[in-house]
Amino acid sequence: MEPISADPSTILNRILDTAADNLRVAKVLVQMGLDPNNITYDALFNRLLEIVLANITLANMFALVGAIFFVATLLMQRMVPLRVANMIACTFFTISGALSGSIATFLLYLLLLPVNAVRLRQLLKLVKKARDAMQGDMSMEWLKPFMSDRRYNRGDRLFRKGDAAAEMFLTVTGKFQVKEIGVELPPGRFMGELGFLAPNNRRTGTVECIEDGQVLTITYERLLEIYFQNPQFAY
């Protein structure tokens, strides 16, 4: 017997040669019960049909339906239908495993069922929260108790364009102007919110007080806390 070399490349070549030999068309045909020297489309079709009919069992039918639903999950773009389809697939695979006596298949898909059920419940709760938020009160009056009072005199500059932004303002009295575009901000208007949304948290304009007034301020850190705690405010 030829000694086996410990060289990794030699071992890999032997593995590839063995795999190629096992995958030869002639050998596959012989394993299917066909004569490689006398093969026709009719003979091939009839043999495949025999194999299919011989394997039509209740367990395999359940496995087929499960496979169809599993493939459907790969084509879905929304998570809720995907989870539902995955649960249906797991149910059919579980039944198939039980009918065929495959304990590994049965246990695997039986355990996947509650996992998908929990994830689906979490998704449905999130969707419900989002719908409630969209239908809720969009007024920002409730935000005032979380804000601090500050007063400005005419000529005071609240912030310059390009400055680092760390807070948002709500005008209460007086008048304020965005210098770059000449827009006046009357009482009841928010300003400085774009700095919160900007990736680098920089001011996008310069705001100056043109009439003595009062504002309420809230830091971006506090905004983030409220953002994650209150879906209505997030919307």
Give me the CATH number covering residue 151: 2.60.120.10
Assigned domain for 2 exists: no
Could you read off the pLDDT tens digit of each residue along the chain, which spans 235 residues?
455 555 777 776 676 666 555 556 666 666 666 666 666 677 667 767 777 666 678 888 899 999 999 999 999 888 889 999 999 999 999 999 999 899 999 999 999 999 999 999 998 887 777 676 666 555 667 778 888 999 999 999 999 998 898 898 999 999 999 998 888 988 888 888 888 877 788 888 899 999 999 999 998 888 888 777 766 666 6
Same domain flag for 65 and 129: yes
Same domain flag for 49 and 21: yes
pTM, whole model, 2 decimals? 0.47
Number of structural domains found in the chain:
3
Assigned domain for 94 exists: yes
Q: Where is the domain boundary, 54, 73, 89?
A: 54
Q: What value, to the nearest 5°, has the Cα angle with vertex 128 and ends 125 and 130?
A: 110
Q: What value, to the nearest 5°, has the Cα angle with vertex 28 and ends 25 and 30?
A: 110
Q: Where is the domain boundary, 118, 135, 152?
A: 135
The per-residue pLDDT for 69 is 94
Same domain flag for 183 and 208: yes
The per-residue pLDDT for 195 is 83
Assigned domain for 203 exists: yes
CB burial class (10 A; 0-12, 13-18, 19+) of residue 56?
A: exposed
What is the domain extent for residue 152?
Answer: 141-234
Assigned domain for 3 exists: no
Contacts of 104 (CB under 8 A, 6+ apart): 97
Same domain flag for 97 and 113: yes
Same domain flag for 174 and 199: yes
The per-residue pLDDT for 104 is 92
The per-residue pLDDT for 118 is 94
Same domain flag for 227 and 178: yes
101-135 CB burial, b ≥16 within 10 A, e <16: eeeebbeebbebbeebeebbeeeeeeeeeeeeeee
